[in-house]
Each structure stands twice: as C-alpha cells, then as structure tokens.
C-alpha cells in the first residue's frame, strides 16, 4: 500500500492562532484526506514550537513556569484544530520528553562524529529573532533589538554539506516548490554557506533543550524544532516504525520559513545519514489590505469568528479556493461572502436541493432507474470522467485551487444539464422508471455523488451530509459513473448552504 506522510510547521505556542496558521493546517488536512480517500496509508503531523526567549519572558511576566505557560497555551491550538475538523495523527510538542531525548541523542551523535564544534564567535545578534544575523540582514532592517555579541557557542558544520545540497536541489525538481522558491534557495546557495550556531548560553536563555555535552548551553530553537519531523514518526536510530513513514512526502510551510527548511533541515539530515523529504512546499501569505496578517501589525482575522458565523466547511473551502499555491492572497469578508454565495449557495447547494427534492417528491424518495442515455447524457458522463482525472492530476501536482475549480465546473455542468432537460416538466409527462425524467434524475444524482466525493477533503461535514442523503454511508472513491443503486433511499438533507445576505 502506498503511503503519504505530511507535516505542518510547528506553530509558536505564544502566537494567537490566526488564518495564516489555519491555512497551512487545513491544506495539510485536505491533502491528507484526499490520499486517504483514494486508499493510501497516511500520517499527518502537526504541533507546537515551545522553547525560546519569548516563552521564557511571557512566563516570567505571568508569574508561572515556562512549562506551565506552554501547557496552558498549547490548548488554544488543539481546540482550534478540533473546531476546524483537522484529523491529525499526532500532535508533537517540542517539550515532549521523547522529543527532548531524541534531540539530545542527535546532538551527541553529531558531536561525536565531529559535525558539531565549539568556537568563539563575534557578530550581530537579533534578540527578537533569537539568532545571529549578517551585516546585510541588519541593513535590510527586518530585524529588531540588534546587539553585537562575542561569545563561545557550538556550531553545526553546515558548510560541509553545501555542495551535496546544491546537487540534490538541482537533481530533484520537486524538492522545493514552487519554482520561484527553488530559484531563491539556489541563488542563496551560490554564496559560501556559514556554519550554523546551534547553542545559546544559559546565562542568556534557559528555556531550551540542554546541550548533552555542555550543561551551560541550551539548543537553538530551530535546530530543536526541525527535528520534530523525524521524532513525530518515532525516530530512534532508524527503527522500523520510523522507516515506514520516513522520508516525509510533504513538508508544508509559509514562504518566510523556506530557508530554514530548505537549507538547515536537509543538511542536518545529511549529517544524520537520513534521506531527505520528497517535497518542501512554500505557500504565500494571507494579506489584509496588502499587508501580511500578523499579531504585531494588529490586522489578524480570527478563523473561529468566521467558523461561528458561517460554518467550518465554508471557511475551509474559501481558504483553499482563493489562494493560488505559492502566491499571496488577500483576505476580506466581502471576498469570502462572494465566493460562498457563488460557489456554495448557488452552484453546489442548488444542485443538492434540486436533485434530492425532486426525487423525494416524485419517486417516493427512491433513486430512479435510468433508461437509455442520449447524446446529452453521454456528453456529461464523459465530462465527469475528464474532471475526475484532471482533479487527480491537479491534486498530485498540489494545484489545489485548480482541482477545486475543475470540480466546480462539473457542478455547474450538472446545473446546466438540469436547465436543459427540465426534469420538473418531464415529471408531469411521465415519471415511471426508465422514463426521461427518471434517467435525468439518476444521471444528476450520480454526478452529485461524484462531485461530493471530490469535494469531501475540503468540506468533510457538508459533503458527508450530501452523500448520506444519497445513501452513501462511507466515502467510495470509485468515481466511475454508475455506482448509485436504483431504489436506494434519497432524501433531501435540507438547505446546506443558505445564502448570505448582507
């Protein structure tokens, strides 16, 4: 059986979960559910990044220990994922004892191997970002609280793996997606790569994983957090459980953290003699009025507010449909309502209502038996087969919004087909089995089954209601035409997507 292992970034536990975080996690859930529905063995990992100065400072401010602080804050993420219908397999926290043990084991291995060394370093340090920065980065003005620091620290020999990394990226065109990010990383790698400072002295920062060979230091948060991707599937010196899942198929992230994932992480894996993940996918940002949504700017849209108002599926649909993977997208309440009304209330909702109500009223709530198909039926069945294979192709290429648009085109075709055939008129002439009305409604109901199955990964709640109304008790990914059984019960699920009037 084929497998898919998919991850989200570990969110900083101190952050207020917002649409940006929700987007990546829903995207992972959609891809995960899609592969599950076509019979893959899947594993989805998410979690929280819990060490570092900000947590330490927040805990002091609240008069609690850092551990008490993160134990409290982590629930906000867990609750929101529950509300957004995220079906992850494991939630990893960087304060989990097993994660800490593994990080220390890896540090020890790399130290013994000579890939980690102690050195004195003098350079610019951004306190807010908790890392050393170059002169150029300091000039660009993106970093705050910059200090000149001279101290002894441990370094990972990242430079040793530079050539190997470049050739891996060049030889694996799907390793970094989209292409713009791949080019960005390749051009970054044209300059000599520095070694990576992977420790922080405890006198400056205590809240971290202690370096196993020097109790005066803790581990740099990124070195700690990136290792979650192997620890989350049970890494323990290449044991069998781990080998079942590793390498990851997709690491999903926003474009701001592609360098840590495409440079630090693969060189760390090379040093550990582990395979590299198949694909790193960097998506764009959700913007409000052209600005990145972020807590410090104060323009954050809270996903839960929209869920409470319009339901979880419509938010999931909107986020997946309105962002072209790799590009930025603008969030606004108006665009949300517009998308909802056109695609969900008008197109999908309308098809569900029309078909189920007509069958319920005129065929005693039983799926009619179709007669022979004419050209118009053969055309739409053919169209559906094309859509099914295009959706599969788009999903495999991670063209999520294209996959959705393609499915919506099928739904619009069903509506058009109903307009042409006008079954509400045909019924008045003849509503016996195999009549033209019966044929039309059978074809439409079966196409509704197919399109609802295609929409299931995006809208798991509403599509299950639609499928249940067609007597489909579970997701049947046989999307060839003709699965619906004549005489099975068909019952209207009620209005699933009421129009939003504002």
Q: Are 279 and 174 in contact (CB under 8 A)?
A: yes
User: Which CB atom, from 9 or from 349, has the smaller least distance to ligand MSP?
Assistant: 9
177 lies in the site for ligand MSP, by CB under 6 A: no
Strands, E assignment, 33-189: 41-49, 90-93, 116-126, 131-133, 146-156, 176-177
Binding of ligand MSP at residue 207 (CB under 6 A)? no
Cα–Cα separations (whole angstroms), residue 388 to 65, 377, 383:
53, 17, 9
248 binds ligand MSP (CB under 6 A): no
β-strand 329-330 against 286-288: which pairing, if any? parallel
DSSP E strand boundaries for 144-260: 146-156, 176-177, 196-197, 199-201, 217-219, 250-254
Given the complex with ligand MSP, which of 181 and 421 has the nearer CB atom?
181
Q: Which stretch binds ligand MSP (CB under 6 A): 7-15, 197-205, 373-381, 435-443?
A: 7-15
Give 55 or 380: the residue with its C-beta nearer to ligand MSP: 55
* Rounded Cα–Cα distance for residues 308 and 302 (Å): 10
Straight-line distance from the first to the last Cα atom of the chain, in angstroms, rounded to the nearest whole number: 49
Give the shortest CB-265-to-ligand MSP separation in angstroms.
8
Q: Residue from 292, 338, 339, 477 that binds ligand MSP (CB under 6 A)?
A: 292
Minimum CB distance to ligand MSP, residue 224 (Å): 9
User: What's the closest the beta carbon of residue 235 comes to ligand MSP, in angstroms?
Assistant: 15
193 binds ligand MSP (CB under 6 A): no
Q: Using CB under 6 A, pick the residue from 24, 231, 267, 492 that binds ligand MSP.
A: 24
Q: Is 132 in the site for ligand MSP (CB under 6 A)?
A: no
Minimum gap (Å) between residue 103 Cβ and ligand MSP: 12
The residue whose two tokens read 């020890």 is 108
When binding is defined by CB under 6 A, the residue of 27, 28, 225, 398 that contacts ligand MSP is 225
Interaction of residue 253 with ligand MSP, rule CB under 6 A? yes
Interface pick for ligand MSP out of 6, 20, 200, 410 (rule CB under 6 A): 20
Q: How far is CA 63 from the centre of its chain?
A: 35
Alpha helix positions (H), 251-349: 258-259, 265-271, 303-310, 312-322, 333-339
Binding flag, residue 357, ligand MSP (CB under 6 A):
no
Name the segment binding ligand MSP (CB under 6 A); options: 37-45, 134-142, 162-170, 291-299.
291-299
Residue whose C-alpha is closest to residue 410's, from 391, 435, 428: 391
Specify the stretch interacting with ligand MSP by CB under 6 A; choose among 177-185, 224-232, 334-342, 451-459: 224-232
Q: Which residues pair with 6 in a beta bridge?
A: 44, 250
Closest to 157 measured CA to CA, from 276, 267, 266: 267
Smallest distance, ligand MSP to C-beta of residue 299, A = 9
Torsion of CA 164, 125, 181, 52, to 10 degrees: 90
β-pairing verdict for 286-288 and 291-292: antiparallel
Tokens encoding 348: 């999908």
Burial class (CB in 10 A: 0-12, 13-18, 19+), 461: middle
Interaction between residue 12 and ligand MSP (CB under 6 A): yes
Closest distance of CB 255 from ligand MSP, Å: 7
Let me know: does 67 contact 112? Beta carbons within 8 Å: no
Strand pairing class (3-12; 90-93): unpaired
Reference 80, options 322, 316, 398, 334; nearest CA is 316
> In whole angstroms, how close is the CB of 264 to ligand MSP at the nearest point?
10
Residues 54-83, mask of contacts with ligand MSP (x by CB under 6 A): ------------------------------
CB atoms closer than 10 angstroms to residue 347:
19
Between CA 414 and CA 122 the distance in angstroms is 67
Q: Which is nearer to ligand MSP, 286 or 348 (CB)?
A: 286
Does position 256 interact with ligand MSP (CB under 6 A)? The reply is yes
Q: Does 220 bind ligand MSP (CB under 6 A)?
A: no
Q: Which residues have a Cβ under 8 Å from the Cβ of 223 and sit 6 or more positions away?
A: 103, 156, 196, 198, 264, 268
Among 285, 340, 458, 481, binds ligand MSP (CB under 6 A): 285
Q: In the structure encoding, which two tokens stand for residue 376, read together? A: 């118009």
Near ligand MSP by CB under 6 A: residue from 5, 15, 169, 445: 15
> CA angle 386-389-395, nearest 5°?
135
> Site size for ligand MSP, by CB under 6 A?
22
Q: Which of 4, 5, 6, 10 binds ligand MSP (CB under 6 A)?
A: 10
Nearest CA to 95 among 229, 209, 216, 8? 209
Query: Which of 293, 403, 426, 490 contacts ligand MSP by CB under 6 A?
Result: 293
Residue 23 binds ligand MSP (CB under 6 A): yes
Cβ closer to ligand MSP: 23 or 246?
Answer: 23
Q: How far apart are CA 116 and CA 156, in angstroms?
A: 5
Interface segment toward ligand MSP; rule CB under 6 A; list 15-23, 35-43, 144-152, 232-240: 15-23
State yes or no: residue 447 binds ligand MSP (CB under 6 A).
no
Min CB(369)–ligand MSP separation in Å: 50
269 binds ligand MSP (CB under 6 A): no
Return residues touching ligand MSP (CB under 6 A): 9-12, 15, 20-21, 23-24, 49, 225-226, 228, 253-254, 256-257, 285-286, 292-294
């Amino acid at each position: 059986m084929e497998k898919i292992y998919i991850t989200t970034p570990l969110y900083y536990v101190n952050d207020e979960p917002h649409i940006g975080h929700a987007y990546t996690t829903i995207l992972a859930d959609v891809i995960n559910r899609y592969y599950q529905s076509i019979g893959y063995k899947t594993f989805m990992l998410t979690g929280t990044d819990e060490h570092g100065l900000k947590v330490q400072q927040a805990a002091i401010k609240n008069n609690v220990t850092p551990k008490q602080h993160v134990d409290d804050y982590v629930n906000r993420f867990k609750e929101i994922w529950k509300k957004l219908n995220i079906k992850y397999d494991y939630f990893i926290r960087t304060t989990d004892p097993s994660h800490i043990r593994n990080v220390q084991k890896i540090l020890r291995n790399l130290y013994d191997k000579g890939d980690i060394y102690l050195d004195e370093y003098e350079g610019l340090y951004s306190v807010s970002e908790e890392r050393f920065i170059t002169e150029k980065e300091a000039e660009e003005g993106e970093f705050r609280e910059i200090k000149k620091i001279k101290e002894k620290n441990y370094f990972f020999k990242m430079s040793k793996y530079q050539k190997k990394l470049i050739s891996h990226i060049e030889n694996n065109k799907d390793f970094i997606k989209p292409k713009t990010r791949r080019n960005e990383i390749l051009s970054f790698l044209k300059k000599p790569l520095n070694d990576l400072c992977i420790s922080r002295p405890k006198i400056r920062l205590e809240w971290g994983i202690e370096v196993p060979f020097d109790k005066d230091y803790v581990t740099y948060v990124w070195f700690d957090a990136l290792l979650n991707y192997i620890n989350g599937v049970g890494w323990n010196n290449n044991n069998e459980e781990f080998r079942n899942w590793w390498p990851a198929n997709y690491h999903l992230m926003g474009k701001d953290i592609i360098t840590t994932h495409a440079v630090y992480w693969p060189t760390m894996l090379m040093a550990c003699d582990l395979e590299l993940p198949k694909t790193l996918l960097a998506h764009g940002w959700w913007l409000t009025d052209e600005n990145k949504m972020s807590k410090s700017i104060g323009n954050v849209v809270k996903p839960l507010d929209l869920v409470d108002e319009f339901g979880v599926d419509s938010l999931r649909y909107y986020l997946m449909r309105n962002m072209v993977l790799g590009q930025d997208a603008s969030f606004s309440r108006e665009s949300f309502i517009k998308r909802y009304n056109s695609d969900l209330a008008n197109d999908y909702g309308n098809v569900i209502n029309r078909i189920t109500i007509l069958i319920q009223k005129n065929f005693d709530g039983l799926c009619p038996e179709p007669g022979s198909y004419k050209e118009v039926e053969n055309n739409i069945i053919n169209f559906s087969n094309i859509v099914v294979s295009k959706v599969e192709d788009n999903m495999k290429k991670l063209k999520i919004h294209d996959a959705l648009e393609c499915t919506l085109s099928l739904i619009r075709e069903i509506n058009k087909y109903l307009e042409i055939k006008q079954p509400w008129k045909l019924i008045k002439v003849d509503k016996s089995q195999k009549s033209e009305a019966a044929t039309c409604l059978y074809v439409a109901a079966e196409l509704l089954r197919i399109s609802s199955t295609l929409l299931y990964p995006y809208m798991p709640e509403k599509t299950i209601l639609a499928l249940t109304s067609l007597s489909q008790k579970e997701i049947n990914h046989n999307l060839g035409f003709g699965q619906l059984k004549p005489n099975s019960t068909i019952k209207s699920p009620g209005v699933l997507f009421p129009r939003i009037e504002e």
